Amino acid sequence: MRSLYLEDGRPRPGRPAPPRPSVPARWRSDTPARLRALMGASALGLAALLAPAGAAHAVIDLPADSSTAAASESQGGTGRMQAAGASAPPLTPKVNAWGKQAPKYQIEVPRSGRPAAKEGGGAQAVQADRPQAAAAGPVRFRLLDKGDGDAHLIYPYAFKAGTTYRARVRIRSDRDAQVQAMLRRDEPPWDPFDIETVRVTPKWQTVELEGTAMSNGPASLRVASRTLGADLWVDQVEIDEVRANSLEPRLKQPIPDSFFGMHLMRLGIHTNWPSFNPGVIRLWDTRTNWKDLQPEEGRWDFSGPSWKRMDLYVNHTLKHNPQAKIIYTMGQVPRWTSTQPDWKNGYGLGHGAAPRDMELWRDYVRTVGKRYAGRIRYWEIWNEPDYAAFYKGSVEDMVKMARIANEELKAIDPQNVLLSPGLTTHQGVAWLDRFLALGGGRYVDVIAFHWYYDRHPESIASSIQNVRRVMRKHRVEDKPLWNTEGSLTCNPKMDDCKQAFHVSEAEQRGVNLRAMLTMWGGGVQSFAYYHWEGRFPDEKMLQDDFRTPTLSGRAYARAVDWLRGARLVDAWRSGRDVYIYKLQRGDQPVVIAWSLTPDTEVRLPVEWGVRRVARLDGSVDALGESRTLSLGLEPVMLQ
């Protein structure tokens, strides 16, 4: 049996921590006198003097549930909203302009009863105007010419990652005009975390926004005019922080087999199947797209290599799991029908554009749908159309393709399920908002999104919340939300992605479970991991023989065992770093917990009745009488 301690004497991560010595009675009795004697000492020095010998740092007493945690952290406060504060300085308006051919605009900012008018345009490309004082009344903004870029009236604000905000702004115009108001990151990928497109008139109206910040970097509330020449007046900009448990579970049902999806990329080189028996297989990057299946106009050759490859995938999947849901991702048009035949993306010439004739799209959908009727029932319209590398076309055309696909596939089999185009965290929120505003939600049964995650997978919770808000706004919140593509990836803000990307063994074992709990807790009902054979050494699940699981692969299979069939009943964060998920497996309650800070010592509440600590390496230890435990980046299951 391995020692419970590391070589430096600290408790091994995930192992029960030793009982901590109690403070001697003689110290407790004269502590007030000692405090008076040490009044001049620093807090750190005082703590060191009073701590028992051998104590490393304080043990965190974990709350028994999320309501207890909320009561403790609010210190008696019960409000759901916390305003920016009456003492906070007013927000300062600026103009953010960009483009080689700079846009032209006017801005008038009243200060101390005297308006200060400025014009922008010409050679400048970014932040053409920088008023340095807050407005003393309504700001007038007029966009005269977008050039080859745009200009927004912006109000910079210090948003905090993972925090939800509600913003209000009053707007009117001198005529009927279209305006976009948004909360947006002002750094790559410059994506909104909420967006509203509204029609404004000469009458004042209030526009409300709500979104969860995805980073601590620069961001702002923005007003973008979509009507050239219209005078917009903007006033009373307010941003409030929403206080709520962001980890509160959205799904109460048992976690189904279909939550555990996978991409198989090397089928044919091997004919193996994951031991955890995935409930979903997505066909993408499998050389089975439209361009592969119909390379010549007017001809369907079912004896061709791509049809045989698609047959291999379908037959292999249903052989190993007859109940598996196969997602076929449509799109990637042949060059001969492309509206942009000379535009090149990573898949060749013309493949990322819309088809020149929608009846050809209809024939493609009908042909594939009939051939695999009853075997493929899940159909994703397109892959990542918000990302320029995969689609060069309009949202309007994508809605047309969704409508046609719905007509054809539902006629073939009413049980066919259509998934919206799978979008990315780059511009996916704005693209989905536009797709649903144009009626795209009528033609799909599932909303698809792609969430990749870095070594801090908990951060995708913000994006999930923002997508769900867009769904609610367009009244499609009852449709399932699926992550049809995602996995661990390198974040250049955290790692040097130009070099080989490596993560610790604890992260290899734990990062996918942390991501899955974040997704399921946020309301994501299926997750197709990309991909089983892997993209880099510390992420892939199979060794080079395509048979032997890696450290990550073994931990993923065990994580599936922990989650499959369990119900998530509560979740919360204790302090900044400790994450707690309470589940029910049949009649057995379990808790899965981890900390973003290695070697965080915690004391478990007696109400949990925990006796054992299970880890993703398969080992199990008894919990000591002190109920203390050392948590780290690798989740443990407490039973």
Contact 509, 634 (CB under 8 A): yes
At residue 427, does pLDDT exceed 80? Answer: yes
Q: Identify residue 87 by its one-letter amino acid code.
A: S
At residue 43, does pLDDT exceed 60? Answer: no
Rounded Cα distance, 167 and 183, in Å: 8
Q: Which range has the top average pLDDT, 36-40, 64-68, 115-119, 569-573?
A: 569-573
For residue 226, the model assigns a pLDDT of: 96
For residue 248, the model assigns a pLDDT of: 94
Closest CA to 482 of 191, 258, 214, 255: 258
**CATH code given to domain 1-20+55-76+565-639:** 2.60.40.1180
At residue 467, does pLDDT exceed 60? Answer: yes
Beta partners for residue 568, in sequence order: 583
Grade residue 87 by pLDDT with cuts at 50, 70 and 90: very low
Grade residue 198 by pLDDT with cuts at 50, 70 and 90: very high
For residue 191, the model assigns a pLDDT of: 93
Beta strand pairing status for 150-157 and 219-225?
antiparallel
CB-based contacts of 190, cutoff 8 Å, min separation 6: 184
User: Can you give 52-121 as a three-state secondary structure string?
Assistant: CCCCCCCCEECCCCHHHHHHHHHCCCCCCEEECCCCCCCCCCEEEEECCCCCEEEEEEEECCEEEEEEEC
| Domain boundary assignment for the chain | 1-20+55-76+565-639, 25-54, 83-242, 274-295+310-564
CATH architecture of the region 83-242: Sandwich (2.60)
Place of tokens 């008139």: 201
pLDDT in tens, 248-268: 999 999 999 999 999 999 999
Lowest mean pLDDT among 112-121, 473-482, 597-606: 112-121
pLDDT in tens, 565-577: 999 999 999 988 9
For residue 550, the model assigns a pLDDT of: 96
At residue 542, does pLDDT exceed 50? Answer: yes
pLDDT in tens, 212-256: 999 999 999 999 999 999 999 999 999 999 988 989 999 999 999
Rounded Cα distance, 148 and 126, in Å: 13
Contact 166, 211 (CB under 8 A): no
Q: Identify residue 269 by its one-letter amino acid code.
A: I
Tally the C-alpha atoms within 13 A of residue 531's C-alpha that lie toward its C-beta: 15
Q: What is the share, in percent, of the chain residues with pLDDT greater than 70? A: 84
For residue 110, the model assigns a pLDDT of: 87
Helix (H, G, I), strand (E, B) or coil at 416: coil
Topology (CATH) of 274-295+310-564: TIM Barrel (3.20.20)
The whole-number average pLDDT for the span 274-280 is 97
Contact 233, 173 (CB under 8 A): yes
Grade residue 501 by pLDDT with cuts at 50, 70 and 90: confident
Say how many C-beta atoms besides its own lie within 10 A of residue 567's C-beta.
15
Residue 415 token pair: 């049980």
For residue 136, the model assigns a pLDDT of: 73
Q: C-alpha angle with apex 316: 314 to 321, nearest 5 degrees? A: 95
The whole-number average pLDDT for the span 343-365 is 95
Peptide bond into 531 cis (omega under 30): yes
pLDDT in tens, 598-611: 999 999 999 999 99
Rounded Cα distance, 613 and 610, in Å: 8
